[in-house]
Structure 1
Amino acid sequence: MPKRKNTAIKPYKLKSGKKKYMFKLYLGIKGTKKIETTRRGFSSYEEADAVYKKMAAQNAQDFIKEKQMTFDELYQKWLPFYSRDVKESTLWKTETMYKTHLKDAFGNQYIDQITTAEIADYFLKLSAKYVNYKVLFWYMRRIFEYAIDINLLNRNPARASLLPKKTTVKKRRDTAHNFYSADEIKTFLTAAKNYSERSYVYFSILASTGMRKCEALALEWNDIEFNKHRIFIQRTTAYGENNTYITQLPKGNKKRYVPLDDKLASELKHYRTDLSDKLFHTANGDFLRPSKPDQWRKAIYAKETDLKRITIHGLRHTFATLLNQAGVNPKDVQAILGHTTIDLTLDVYTHSTAEGQEKARAEINKLF
């Protein structure tokens, strides 16, 4: 048998005892990365040698690994697994954010050639112009984790330690003052009533139950349990696939009951004037879009220029703060708001007020 000159080609045996051939080949440097490849499974030395010679003539810059895929191909492979565990609205947001940002920056690059330094530079620049840059980073990290799970990568280049800690984008609003005092909410609701009954009822629901904006928009009359003095929150409106308007489970997939006070119950009975199953609907009987309450709010502020201006979500903060100030058990407030943890209720949704400070001073006077 003639001597085989290519010492890079090695024989090995399968579990069945069958003999096969393999080789490792160094092709050079591509960018700053050493390009090496392994090929195995050849039935003969001659077959392995022919492939080795063909690959050895290849430029490292043109090399594409077997089973190598682009970041966009990996994303498309990951998406069906991700979509099984999230709501339709979350999936739509993820797809939109990916197409707007990550696809243009990384979509056509091969995943094993995307470096940690490149990712760090991208998110440093993104943090200077985009408030939600961290959400995109964690999407990217999860996609790379999937590549590791299916043995396409050995390590995740999206290293959390290099993520910028804060955005340099100016905050859009001061959330520390995004709520009303007891007197201020009464003034606002009076202004809403002067504007229209529908806006008044809608904002009254938010102020007296702490519902989220789109949970209130999704209410149906059979959710209002007058005899039990409560409202059943079992859906929310949202945008789903292809920007379609849908209803789905509330945030966290948690249905819950909220108290129905006597004044709101009376207002709701007076408010119902048609046979629609929805509290707030269009002329065609569809749920109102989230932009409608914003239109009401802006119109009310335009008409009553002296009113303190807060966001619609600020009414949820108002509800939590006033209940906390009144001494309602924080765990009960947490349950009504549908929060997962008490920390979120206390740290984010309850605020110090002048009335609360005065109440504390009065209690201190009693002690001393």
Structure 2
Amino acid sequence: MEADNECLTYSLAILGEAAVAQTARTSCLTYAGFLPRLLPAPQALLRISRPDRLSTFPADVIGYHSGNLRHTLGLIPTLLLKPELLNRFHVQCLRIERASKSQEAVVTAATFGPLTLLAIASFLLFVGLVVFAIYLGDGMALLALALLGSVSIIAHIGLYHRIDLAEYKDKNRSLPKSDVVIVYPNGSFQIVSCNEEIARKLFIEPEKCVYKIRSADLYRALAMLATLMLMFGVICLANAAPRLQFAFACVLVALNAAHWIVAALPEHRHWDLRTFDVKPTERWATERYSQALWTLIASTGTTRWVKSAKIAPDNQAWDAWLNEAQDHLVPGKIPVFKNKIMVEPLWDCQAALSRLLSEYEILDDTPSLHPPRTNIQDEKPTGEAKSDEPESVKEKPLI
């Protein structure tokens, strides 16, 4: 029975890695992480290397004035823009500005967010276990608590960092417009109006994670030390009194559930992004990709960025369609929709595309790199095969 309890305690001490890893990056931005506490699956924080930047998501980010082009969207703009709320072929316009010109644009974890509250709750449970171990006089439990509580502190020291956004160096001159178009894999689009400073910080230049401990070798040494302390802490925990092991198990079950709930929350709940002011301005719902693309072209006033970013199929029909779209543009005219149909500027983009696809249709008799497969029945000889070659060209048998 005691062996079963030891196995259960060990399993609870290392389970829950997915939930801890989901919020590990954000939790390491908070001061509350320096509190000694129990962590379910602390091995999720003890990696060999540390990432230099935040995670990215697949999307085409195009500066249609500046000509900048990237094929990924960073975590911070994703949290600000919330593209998951857009349906397929929807087009949304937004404006991003600094909330205060006197305040530097910074990004950090929420001061009193769910992760901070979870760290404080874990610390209080840790203190409760220490008091209970002292009351029972269980030295092995106290040693296990000292080791496991130190693991969380060492892991946080090694991963504690700040996020540095790119700086716009030429601050003395007026900032030019640097609006961007974002094309998502699901066929939704966003047009973001911003200046050059915001575009560099959020879309063009990647952010940097600046760690408090900059030496990679020192970080690996700390991670190895924390790993050894974790192993010895689990051994000491397995030799604690049964009542302490039961208390540990209850705390670890509660912490696993709490970490899972916190990890399942929308990620923007964990961040402090108040230095950016995001204002949605327009939103249009279209039914086809060509209609959404025409909406973007009419809003930006040019087709040049479509060709440079190659977000339209590369063939003659679409090239002709883009040329016609350029001819129908009205400079400075905001698209006007009625019943999901653009009435200004007036152009039936779908009918034009159908006409051009028929005009440039690839016929069946067009030569291909791969010849059509011959029917096997046609290959069976029905008699002596006749040759179309003249008698003088036929190969003569060797004697």
Q: TM-score, normalised by structure 2?
A: 0.19
Q: TM-score, normalised by structure 1?
A: 0.20
Which has the higher relative contact order, 1 or 2, with Cα contacts under 8 A spaced 6 or more apart?
A: 2
